Amino acid sequence: MGLSMLSMRKKSIIEAISPIESVPNLDVMTSGQIPSDPVKVLESRILKDMIAEVVDDYDKILFDVPPVCSVPDTVILSSLVEGVLLVIASGKTNSDSAKRAIKQLDRAHANILGVVLSKVKRLKNSEYDYNPYEQEVNPKKETKKR
């Protein structure tokens, strides 16, 4: 069940949204089955109506979408939302692809809020090697003195 079921008017939006019990105040709506024509779904009035229906019920609504240059879906959706965070993978996304993505979003009149650089490798033994969460993720074993 997900967005695709809404587009076919087979489910209500309430039925398509699932709370995540392990994370308070987080609800998720999956895409569901990929429709035969996803662009038609995104350009339909149904998606606009769905966003309008839930926008007052949530502080933030995030859409996790495919890369901008890979399918038209992302650019279409970018024109329906308040803002876009462009995620660029360090060492994987080249500058030409990033520039092309920004141009496509600009043409769609997307409001680019900023860029997130993901998959950044941390430098070990650097004066900037600071990770306050390291203790939680990799608790250091205490060694007993004899």
The reported pLDDT for the residue numbered 140 is 55
Going along the chain, which residue ranges are E strands?
18-19, 27-28, 84-89, 112-118
Per-residue pLDDT of the chain (146 residues; tens, 9 = 90+): 677 666 666 667 777 888 999 999 999 988 777 777 777 777 777 778 888 888 888 888 888 888 898 888 889 889 888 999 999 999 999 999 999 999 999 999 999 999 999 998 877 666 665 665 555 555 555 555 54
Q: How far apart are CA 89 and CA 13, in angstroms?
A: 33
Q: What is the pLDDT at residue 61?
A: 87
Q: What is the pLDDT of residue 22?
A: 94
Task: Look at residue 105 in the predicted model and tell me its pLDDT.
Answer: 95
User: Using an 8 Å Cβ cutoff, are 38 and 73 in contact?
Assistant: yes
pLDDT the model gives residue 16 = 80
